[in-house]
Homo-oligomer: A and B are copies of this chain.
Amino acid sequence: MNPEGLWFKEIFTDNLLFGYRVRKVLFSGQSKFQKIDILDLYAYGKTLFLDDKIQSAEIDEYVYHEALVQPAMFVHPEPISALIIGGGEGATLREVLKHGTVEKAVMVDIDGELVDASRKYLSEWSAGAYENPRSKLVIDDARKYIFETDEKFDVVISDLTEPLEEGPSKFLFTLEFYKKVHEILTDSGVLVVQSGSAVQTYNDLAASIYVTLKELFNFVKVYTVYIESFQMLWAFTIASKSDDPETIGLDDLENRRKVRGVGNLKFYLPKYHRGLFNIPRYLDERLPEGRVLTDDNPYIWTA
């Protein structure tokens, strides 16, 4: 049975609808860049929607954010500087700061209103990360930032929304952009990109990111994680200049954990690292069929 009252409808495609029962609307607004809704859902607790698409939820934002950040951070032998592209909720920054080696964590998000609303209504997501003296928040277009910076970073984390036609993120998934990212990465640099859905019927973005990064990096691997509040298997692409992200030894990972004092992990542990890379056969066979994304022909997500 299905109670009446307030519900939030999310339409993954014209043919598939998710309905979430709403306990409370915490914030609803339109920023310069997107529609922002922060709701308290009966099913998932506090939840962020951007342009009516679920972004992260109280019950499992730790799964998404640890899955995005921790493998890359652990793969790098000694991450001192990190750059986050997007990451408006602040939880990606929180995860980066768990590594004691990090001296500088820069987060560049285009939407200051989203960052402000998240700090206010989803304060557990950032959990004080912005106040950390090692953090630096930049409200700007990440493409502009990356093309203009003369800094170098050990780890770059791309935590962007899907590239929509009218959205600003579509030129942040292209060969030209990743070439510049490759340049500002240090010698053992690692890049990780949240790569969208990994399900059988929607995995084009993941395949295309994979193929595009293969043009530039020595090692490119895709791993998948089930995100309950997305109802989806999710893809992450990790690219590395000098080390294979999949086969790194468990002893090394455990040692880094100790040395860097990485505590408070709820999803990731070194012993689960390698298992993440066991992706389903359909995805395994599909990845090489992606296409190289370019500024002239970027990826546009359509439901």
Contacts and interface: CB of A to CB of B under 8 A. Distances in A.
Interface of A: 1-11, 13-22, 24-25, 28, 35, 37, 41-43, 52, 59-60, 63, 198-201, 224-226, 228, 231-233, 266-269, 272, 274-276, 278-282, 284
A15 B59 CA distance: 14
Contacts of A60: 200
Contact of A267 (B22, B24, B281): B281
A109 B22 CA distance: 29
A4 B15 contact: no
14 contacts: A1-B14, A2-B2, A2-B14, A5-B35, A15-B20, A15-B42, A17-B18, A63-B200, A198-B226, A226-B233, A272-B280, A274-B278, A275-B278, A276-B278
A-B pairs, top 5 by smallest CB distance, nearest first, are A275-B278, A17-B19, A15-B42, A1-B1, A2-B2
Nearest to A278: B275
B200 A59 contact: yes
Contacts of A24: 28
Contacts of A4: 1-2, 8-11, 52
Nearest to A284: B272
Contacts of A2: 1-4, 9, 11, 14, 17
A287 to B, nearest CB: 14
A10 B21 CA distance: 13
Nearest to A22: B6
Contacts of A43: 13, 15-16, 201
B226 A5 contact: no
A51 to B, nearest CB: 9
B28 A15 contact: no
A83 B274 CA distance: 35
A267 B2 CA distance: 35
A7 B20 CA distance: 10
A10 to B, nearest CB: 6
Nearest to A265: B281
A236 to B, nearest CB: 14
A63 B276 CA distance: 19
Contacts of A28: 6, 24-25
A20 B14 CA distance: 9
Given A231-B232, A272-B278, 14 more contacts: A1-B3, A2-B17, A4-B52, A7-B9, A13-B43, A15-B21, A16-B18, A24-B28, A59-B201, A60-B200, A231-B231, A233-B233, A267-B282, A272-B284
Contacts of A18: 16-19
Contacts of A226: 198-199, 224, 226, 233, 280
Nearest to A12: B43
